[in-house]
Every structure is written in structure tokens, then in C-alpha cells.
Structure 1
């Protein structure tokens, strides 16, 4: 009975909640050009901020649960659908599927708190604090280069790299998940602004004159 009630509650939550960039969904679809550059929001991913010494006992406990903690700038580690992005020597962002969150029947944030225990560190649920944009296609890098100071050349910014930066003046974490695919993690309050900036940066590639 309890499982049935939890499932119904999960369905109700999914029906009622709206993502930070939901007002731009139609604009993202209209502004995307297949096989050129496409933009979409990936809403409600589970995100957890971790502050811990990766070499300490608490770091090892969290790493055992997440598939490992990154040890260098730009590095991403994880297993399955869970990834841990390096933000600083003792600061990380865990990204996991939406269903990993307790509101949808998962237990990942709670499990991380339990794994930390009384150890020195911090586990903070950031799922409602950010959203995720996915920018993909052959022109995705050119779009980002209009407002990102990172060197995004593929020899430098390789697939599997994630760094904190600014895009269009908005602080965000940028993760290159594949050769022509990037995920951006802005704070929820900046999502609409950044979404509109990306659409504007994509506009020239929607022109029929562009091959």
C-alpha cells in the first residue's frame, strides 16, 4: 500500500511541477536546426553539491557510492547514469537522473548524507537550484564561443571535460558530454535569460543562407 501511495505521489509531482525554462520550450524547438545546432532543456535532474576531502575517509565513502570523485580540474567521474564534476579541490557537483531524487522515489541524496555520516564534509541537495540545457550539433561550439572565454577547441576541451565558467555573462558549469554535445548548468533564476541568449546566438544558423 505504501509503495502504491508513493508511486501516485510521484506521478502527481511530475504532473504539477514546471522547469525553470519551460516557458521557452516552444522557442527552443523553433530555434533549433536539425544536424546544425539544437537546444533543449533537460529538466529536473538530481544534483547534489559535495564538499569533502577526496583523500579522506569521508571522501572515500562518498566516492564508493558515486563511482569515484574527480581529482583534477575539468575531470568527470561516475558510473551508470551518475556523474561527479570537479568544481574545486574539495568541491564537486553530482548529476544523476531525475528518478534518483527522493521526491520521485529515489534515495540518492539521502544515501549520500548517510554515507558522509559524521565525517568532515557537506552534502547539499541542489536539484531545485539549477537546471540543465543541452546544446548539440556541429555549430554548438561556435554558439558557445560567442560568449564563453574558455578555449573550447576540441584539442583542449575534450569530451568528458567539465569546467565552471560564464556563458553570455551568466555563471554556469559547462560539461562536454560528447564531441558535439554540451550540457550547461545555470542557476534556476538565470535559466530564462541564458536560454534567450543561446537562442539569439543560434539565430544566424537558422538562416536559409547558412549551408
Structure 2
């Protein structure tokens, strides 16, 4: 396990300087046009190149919790559909023994998985880098909830869904993880394979919502 971890770190270090391509490259012009609009009603942009690692483990195992916190900077949240946060990462509750760890800033190397694997050791746990398969989109504006409600079945009222929470859901046919980060601001984790579809359907929904 130790040699495997060293190999992962060495590979991550070697890819510094490699040009990264956004998962939403196919919708780049659409996003650029959307970002160029100065509207208080709705705006959308990609938050690309985040470290995204899916972690499985047992909250009842103190060794797992301590190892996780030593790398991430906070323990995984135990309350369903909540978010824990440290200086560098936030941790999204996906299930009783499953979390998604996200870097708060873009990264050039996906080293989080290797760091977690190194400290988890022989614990009954797993850490898998999923950053290449997902991206993060941020939307904001006074009509952001209205645009979301066009294709998301969740109750998005501010009293029911607010910062500090997260939820797995869908936006039309795209699976998403939805995270409110402000009164009228959300971050959305979406699969790479749905990226182009997601952007186009959201822009269509925004166009149908009056400013």
C-alpha cells in the first residue's frame, strides 16, 4: 500500500504543467456568453478543476475519522444532507458512510486521493478520485431558485434548503449534487457526461424565466 501511495503522489507531481481541459469545453461559447451578461436575475459559470474525491468509511471507527480529519481538516459530517468545511475543502454528506470531498480552489494535481489512501491504511475505508468525471457549476441571482425549480423536484424555499445543506437530485435528466452557498447562490456538481446537456438545458430554463 505504501509503495502504491508513493507511485500515486509521483504521478500527480509529474503532471504539473499539463494543460487541463474543462469538462464543459463543448459548451464553452454558451458559458462565455452567459457570463458576459450583467444580470441580477441569473448568472452561471463553471468552477473547474476542483479536487473531487468520493470517500467511504465508518463514522463509528475513531481511527477512520481521525485519519480523514488529519488530511481534510475537519471530520466528515454525520447529519444527513449537510456540509462540513475546512480551510481547503468542504465535505458533502452523500450517505451514512459516504461523502464527497471538494477542494475550495482549483488544483493542478489530484493529490487528495493519494493523501487519504496513505493515512487510511488498513481501515475499512476507501477514497476514489472522481475529479475527471465531474465538474462544478455555480449559479446566482434573484431568479436562480426559479431556474432550478424548472427541472429540480426539491423544495428549494430558503426556509427548507439553505447554506450548510446539500442534496442529491436531478436537473431534468442530469444527476446532480446541489449545494446552496448563499441566499441566491448555488453550486452544482454534475457528471462530465451530462455537462453539455446540463448547461444548455439550464440556459433554456433561464431564458423562460422572466427577469
Which of 54, 61, 65 pairs up with 1:59? Answer: 65
Contact 2:24/2:195 (CA < 8 Å) preserved in 1?
Answer: yes
Q: Distance in 1 between matches of 2:45 and 2:204?
A: 14
SS of residue paired to 1:10: coil
SS of the aligned residue for 2:131 comes to coil
**SS of 1:39's equivalent?**
strand
- The count of aligned residue pairs is 195
1:58-137 equivalences in 2 (<5 Å): 58-66=64-72, 67-96=74-103, 97-99=105-107, 101-102=109-110, 107-137=111-141
Give runs of aligned pairs for residues 170-181 of structure 1, distance below 5 A.
170-181=174-185
In the TM superposition, residue 26 of structure 1 has moved relative to its aligned partner by: 2.3
Give the 3 Å change call, closer, same or farther, for CA 47–164 of structure 1 in structure 2: same
Q: CA deviation at 1:8?
A: 9.1
Q: Distance in 1 between matches of 2:86 and 2:176?
A: 23
Q: Does 1:29 align with 2:32?
A: yes
Question: Would you say the 8 A contact 2:49–2:108 is kept in 1?
Answer: no
SS of 1:45's equivalent in the other structure is coil
Contact 1:160 1:178 in 2 (8 A): no
Deviations along 1:93-131, one digit per CA (max 9) or x if unpaired, are 0000332734xxxx4221111111110011001110101
Instruction: Supply the distance in 2 between the matched residues of 1:9 and 1:50 (Cα, whole angstroms).
Output: 23
TM-score (norm 2): 0.85
Report the TM-score, using the length of structure 1 for normalisation: 0.85
C-alpha RMSD over aligned residues:
1.9
CA distance in 2, matches of 1:114, 1:186: 28
CA contact (8 A) 2:15 2:109 kept: no
**34-43 or 141-150, which deviates more:** 34-43
CA contact (8 A) 2:144 2:185 kept: yes
